[in-house]
A and B are shown apart, each in its own frame.
Chain A
Amino acid sequence: EAGVTQFPSHSVIEKGQTVTLRCDPISGHDNLYWYRRVMGKEIKFLLHFVKESKQDESGMPNNRFLAERTGGTYSTLKVQPAELEDSGVYFCASSQALRLAGRDSSYNEQFFGPGTRLTVL
């Protein structure tokens, strides 16, 4: 089974340009998450989709970032216009719908993609 894939693996753009990152989750996973790590900082949550709906976008830094998930399948994250501080690695993750099988055995593993390294010059 294919894992989470992200495209492109690297992107180098100039300040003010637009970049669109794509994430293809594992087939059948309702949950899709975007995270990012900017240089020297920790991995931070950006937003969470459940199917095509945004469940939580509290981590989105500002309105230059727009995420979509067409038909509840793949997702795109557009940065427009890009700024220098947007440089970093953007990770996508997906997980199945939450399953509960008793408090001590419940889990909701998130499967991460390899990330897209974005460099804004």
Chain B
Amino acid sequence: LAKTTQPISMDSYEGQEVNITCSHNNIATNDYITWYQQFPSQGPRFIIQGYKTKVTNEVASLFIPADRKSSTLSLPRVSLSDTAVYYCLVGPLGGANNLFFGTGTRLTVIP
């Protein structure tokens, strides 16, 4: 079971780029890296998923080095509404039993 390690909390000012790094040293060959966002009193929401190199969508970018032992979620120009907990998950597709949420990173965006 690939466990993830990420910072407990981060603060950022509005308009800045935020990078949250996640370590997953024991990632398996068939594991994907997925990031979820969770606001208070809501369920987690999918942000981005990748296997290797770089993935970009309208919300974020995900950078994965060649050894895949870590990954970095990049949020461009954050706003106050990006204040949330961000979870890094590692596991095979369709295998919910291998989705380990961990503690997540609580991002606070400051005006």
Q: Render B21-48 as a binary contact track against A, CB cut-off 8 A, 1 for contact.
A: 0000000000010000000011111100
Q: Is the CB of A115 within 8 A of B43?
A: yes
Looking at chain B, what size class is its interface with the partner chain? 20 to 34
Q: Is the CB of A91 within 8 A of B43?
A: yes
Which residues from B are CB-within-8-Å of A91?
Answer: 43-44
Distance between Cα atoms of A113 and B42 in the complex (Å):
7
Which residues from A are CB-within-8-Å of B96?
Answer: 31, 33, 45, 48, 55-56, 93, 110
Question: Is A111 an interface residue, CB under 8 A from the partner?
Answer: yes
Number of A residues near B (Cβ < 8 Å) is: 30
Q: Is the CB of B45 within 8 A of A31?
A: no
Question: Is B93 an interface residue, CB under 8 A from the partner?
Answer: yes
Which residues from B are CB-within-8-Å of A112?
Answer: 42-45
Distance between Cα atoms of A120 and B52 in the complex (Å):
44
Which residues from A are CB-within-8-Å of B87?
Answer: 43
Q: Please name the residue on chain B nearest to A9 by beta carbon.
A: B41
Q: Please name the residue on chain B nearest to A43 by beta carbon.
A: B101
Q: Is the CB of B94 within 8 A of A31?
A: yes
Shortest CB-to-CB span from A99 to chain B, Å, is: 9
Distance between Cα atoms of A111 and B102 in the complex (Å):
18
Q: Please name the residue on chain B nearest to A48 by beta carbon.
A: B96
> Lowest 6 A-B CB distances belong to which pairs?
A112-B43, A43-B101, A48-B96, A109-B46, A98-B94, A108-B93
